[in-house]
């Protein structure tokens, strides 16, 4: 248990500030942070196996925030009209500033283009990208689902993103839209 206490002592303030940044509300941040630490304690055996504890905690925090946000969105009456194929990362849906209609349309168009190009990937890469970016599963969850190691999931994600970028860049109609990174 001392390992968990050490992790808590070292990263408690960081997690709180991350929660505050995500929720923009001190009370919600505290609730979110508490939920995160409950998950950490439940998975304390994993703490000793994790190489980068801060990254691991960040992932847990982000996933917990996304889960909470999804629950709130599901309860919202406005979601009923959302197209089911919209696979924009959940954090992009968090209100920041007013988004113009043009930006919303552009986002939907780009999403459809990316979905079409994803169909050109091998199915294993399609699934990996889908689980990670659309379903918002963690690397560990994808590892369990696909019955492969986390390292394999990371490799597949990397290769899938590289291949998708190549596919997008090779489309002459999209060269001006796709920004090489």
Q: What is the pLDDT of residues 19-72, one digit of tens each?
A: 988 888 899 899 999 999 999 998 888 888 888 888 889 989 988 888 887 766
Identify the structural domains of the chain with CATH numbers, from first to last. Answer: 1-82 (1.10.1740.10), 84-181 (1.10.10.10)
Write down the H helix ranges in the chain.
2-23, 26-42, 44-47, 53-75, 101-118, 123-129, 139-146, 150-170
For residue 36, count other CB atoms closer than 10 A to its CB.
Answer: 23
pLDDT at 136 over 90: no
- What's the mean pLDDT in 128-151? 88
Between CA 39 and CA 29, with CA 150 as vertex, the angle to 5 degrees is: 30
- What's the mean pLDDT in 71-86? 48
């Amino acid at each position: 248990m001392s390992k968990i206490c050490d992790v808590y002592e070292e990263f408690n303030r960081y997690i709180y500030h991350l929660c505050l940044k995500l929720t923009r509300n001190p009370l919600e941040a505290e609730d979110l942070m508490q939920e995160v630490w409950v998950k950490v304690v439940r998975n304390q055996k994993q703490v000793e196996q994790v190489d980068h504890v801060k990254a691991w905690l960040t992932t847990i925090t982000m996933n917990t925030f996304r889960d909470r946000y999804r629950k709130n969105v599901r309860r919202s009456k406005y979601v009923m009209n959302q197209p089911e194929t919209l696979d924009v990362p959940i954090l992009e849906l968090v209100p920041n500033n007013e988004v113009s209609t043009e930006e919303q349309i552009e986002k939907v168009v780009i999403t459809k283009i990316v979905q079409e190009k994803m169909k050109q990937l091998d199915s294993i890469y399609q699934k990996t990208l889908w689980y990670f970016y659309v379903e918002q599963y963690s690397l560990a969850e994808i590892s369990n689902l696909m019955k492969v190691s986390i390292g394999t999931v990371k490799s597949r994600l990397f290769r899938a993103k590289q291949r998708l970028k190549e596919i997008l860049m090779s489309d002459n109609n999209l060269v001006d839209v796709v920004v090489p990174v």
